[in-house]
Amino acid sequence: MSELTTSHTKCKCTACGHHFKSTAAFDKHRTGSHGVDRRCMDEIEMLAHKMARNVGGYWVTSLFVGESYWSK
Ligand SMILES: [Zn+2]
């Protein structure tokens, strides 16, 4: 797989290392309360929350709301 990049919308989580297509997707993978048990969801949890990885390798909030599998 080619190296994933970041941009003004795409981001990489420094905690878990996953790449996200949008800040919304990034926010969605963070769970728990700030200062208490804030953490990243793992892949199983993200999939359980209907998140998915697009063909470019970036996690998206959903493949069905404003995102297509083929969008990069
Ligand atoms: Zn993370």
Buried-state track 34-55, b at ≥16 Cβ within 10 A, e below 16:
eeeeeebbeeeebeeeebbbbe
- Structural domain including 47 reads 11-60
The verdict on residue 44 lying in a domain is yes
Q: What are 1-43's pLDDT values in tens digits? A: 568 988 878 999 999 999 999 999 999 999 999 999 999 999 9
Distance CA 14, CA 56 (A): 19
* CA of 60 relative to ligand 1 center, distance in Å: 13
The verdict on residue 42 lying in a domain is yes
21: Cβ–Cβ under 8 A, 6 or more apart, which residues?
9, 10, 54, 56, 58, 59, 60, 67, 71
pTM of the full predicted structure? 0.77
| Residue 67, pLDDT above cutoff 60 | no
The verdict on residue 68 lying in a domain is no
pLDDT of residue 7: 84
The verdict on residue 72 lying in a domain is no
* CA of 70 relative to ligand 1 center, distance in Å: 23
Spell out which residues have Cβ within 5 A of ligand 1, the ion: 13, 15-16, 40
Q: What are 35-61's pLDDT values in tens digits? A: 999 999 999 999 999 999 998 999 999
The verdict on residue 2 lying in a domain is no
Total domains present in the chain: 1
The verdict on residue 38 lying in a domain is yes
Q: Is 11 helix (H, G, I), strand (E, B) or coil?
A: strand
